[in-house]
Chains A and B, each alone.
Chain A
Amino acid sequence: MSVPGRRLTVAVVYPDLLGTYGDGGNGAVLARRAAWRGIDVELVQAVSDRPLPAADLYTIGGGEDGPQVRAATTLLEEGTLAARVAEGAVVLAVCAGFQVIGTTFPDSADRIQQGVGLLDLATVKGTGPRAVGELVAVPTASAPRTAAGDPLPRLTGFENHGGVSVVGPGARPLARVEHGVGNGGGDGTEGAWSGRVLGTYLHGPVLARNTALADVLLGWALAPAGSPSGTAAALEPLDDHEELALRAERLEAVTGARTGGWRAAVRRLSPSR
């Protein structure tokens, strides 16, 4: 089951620009889960004033409007990320990072900025209130599957964004929103994916709360060269009891708040919250 002799480089893309919401943790989760399986893994914090290193797996996080534009411009100018994706590298992008790897997104003055174009995804400024809160979404039938071919379990995380994203025909939605806003375009979807590129609005970080998704991304990165995209290498199981306890508690906090008795009802009515 193990993957002897495999080396893996995980790069956290521009933590100096897109590191505001704890999403650098996704890189740490991927690297640790690989290392625990005996894989020789290197975790690189790829800052924006140096060339982006060649990596097998890139994680891109959330950030503020100004730095988001700079990140997109820099990634487009230097070209490594798109080139590595064409060679089969895996990308996980979250929130502002998700918008950056799409085709277009708005800046703070609502001017349209060009994204890196790794996903067919257009983001515009939302007209409603900012989407802030726990987000739960069920992976769609066409979402990535585990190495064993099983569907991914529910995704849990925390969203915090003003943008509304529409998934184009070149990509597929990742999940259907059960609680929260997600992409926000009115179709009830959350996230998007295409090939080995996956984006989401979930913070938490997403991979700390959803280890099955972490292992799918690792499995993609470790799949034998030349295997079709979507093929995930099988990985040894890990003792995830702490992550599973956290997942259960977070999912319960959301469903409990929706249905949960008079205390929750009072809390919902209370104007001070």
Chain B
Amino acid sequence: MTVRVSSAGQRSTRSTVASAAVTGVNRLSRALGRGSGTVAGGRAGLLLDPGLLATLAVGRRVALVTGTNGKTTTTRLLAAALAGDGGGVVSNETGANMPAGHVAALVGEPAAPVAVLEVDEGYLGRCIAETAPEVVVLLNLSRDQLDRISEVRMLVDRWRTALAALEPPGPGRPGTVVVANADDPMVARAASAAPAVHWVGAGQVWHDDAVGCPSCGGRIHFADDGAWACDRCDFARPATAARVVGDDLVLADGSRHPIRLGLPGAFNRANAGMAAMAAVPLLDAAGDTALDTALARLGGVTEVAGRFATVARAGRQVRLLLAKNPAGWTAIFDLLEETGHADDQVVLSVNARTADGFDTSWLWDVPFERLAGRSVVATGERRLDLAVRLRYAGVEHAVVDGPVSAVDHAVAHSVDGAPVEFLGNYTAFADLRRAL
């Protein structure tokens, strides 16, 4: 692996003090039992030195991963794909995806020459400006936390501005390659502003935010094979360098590269395809060898920050699944139908804190009707919103206060040892994981 000459030795006193503060506050935070402390320490560091992220990124090869869904998983898969080249990879793998989380991760691994950073959709511009990434991965964009980001199209415009400022790879400079999901018109609109794009057909099941053309306001039409085009302007799905087809990554030359994953579901094969294509420019090996190396390495990942993990509870298997928004829940319902059984107990847990978005209206965009006939338990701080939604979806349900009690209720009602599927949104998932 090539490592750029580091100027980290000339860090200012200010950034050294700030870095020490990150470590100190994190230790204190952990000692006080206030969580993992990654964000608290990072905030303290950035307060002392607002330029700390840029300083810590100098000398490293950086990949940024963003999008509405799959960014934590794709970050983990990309880090795994790059980890075998030696030298070490640093990553904010717990999902603390704003600059405070990036700073905390980078301070913790000062010598790692490669950084794979998950980035909140709203911070892409700042992170590009401060970390000079070689690779930017754009997964998908759909409605999520609209009380915070207001509109998906506003985000597209902000991404466009940030990506237009990138330099393509060239003699004497690494430049930036954008690896973008061509199947999502919102991503395509943003990425088309970048000078160097590797388009990947990773699929996008959720089309409901992209019917209005983000380029001209016309109407986007989707074909069954995922192709799309506007009926008014020439905006259409870009030609792809690779596509995820079933269990394979298929390159434009027709060569097929099997995706063998330890993670379930079609959306994770899509994440893996994106991660593998993003790994190629950063690996020592080149071309198809690099791609197959990446795919082999990321196949070893079996859970991501507790997601997709299975835990035992009173002799029953409980699978932990995270879904934050309509597109994510729809993908998880696909997963239940692909890998689960009709008699599985399903526990749904929804909160509406800052990280989740305060507005629960999105529950009505989730096709809960697909759960009809299953045994469903509603829990979380917004279980009453869930209960009303399930009533109108025609889904029988129990309402149980407290996620652990809800899981135990499901375990107690499980027939013939059928497993329990737990689906939580962001903080609801974290609450259960902490409690179990």
Residues of A that sit less than 8 Å from B by CB: 15-17, 19-25, 28-29, 32, 48-49, 64-67, 69-70, 130, 132-134, 158, 160, 162, 203-205, 208-209, 242-243, 245-246, 249, 273
Contacts and interface: CB of A to CB of B under 8 A. Distances in A.
A22 B361 contact: yes
Given A22-B364, A160-B150, A208 B212 contact: no
B362 interface: yes
Interface of B: 143, 146-147, 150-153, 208-209, 211-212, 214, 217, 219, 354, 358-365, 384-385, 387-389, 391-394, 399
Given A66-B153, A160-B359, A246-B384, A19 B212 contact: no
10 contacts: A16-B208, A19-B365, A22-B364, A25-B364, A67-B212, A158-B359, A160-B147, A203-B359, A242-B384, A246-B385
Given A16-B208, A48-B219, A203 B361 contact: yes
A249 B385 CA distance: 10
Nearest to A24: B364
Give me the 3 closest cross-chain CB pairs, A-B, nearest first: A25-B364, A22-B361, A67-B212
Given A49-B219, A66-B217, A17 B211 contact: yes
A23 B364 CA distance: 7
A65 to B, nearest CB: 7
A66 B361 contact: no
Contacts of B354: 273
Contacts, number: 99
Nearest to A107: B217
A117 B354 CA distance: 37
A273 B148 CA distance: 12
A66 B359 contact: no
A254 B347 CA distance: 28
B175 to A, nearest CB: 32
A217 to B, nearest CB: 15
A242 B217 contact: no
A65 B151 contact: yes
Contact of B387 (A70, A160, A246, A273): A246
Contacts of A24: 364-365
A203 B152 CA distance: 17
A20 B212 contact: no
A173 to B, nearest CB: 23
Contacts of A67: 211-212, 217
Contacts of A32: 392, 394
A238 B360 CA distance: 24
Contacts of A205: 361, 364
Nearest to A130: B150
B212 A25 contact: no
Contacts of B363: 22
Given A130-B150, A246-B387, 4 more contacts: A66-B217, A67-B211, A67-B212, A160-B146
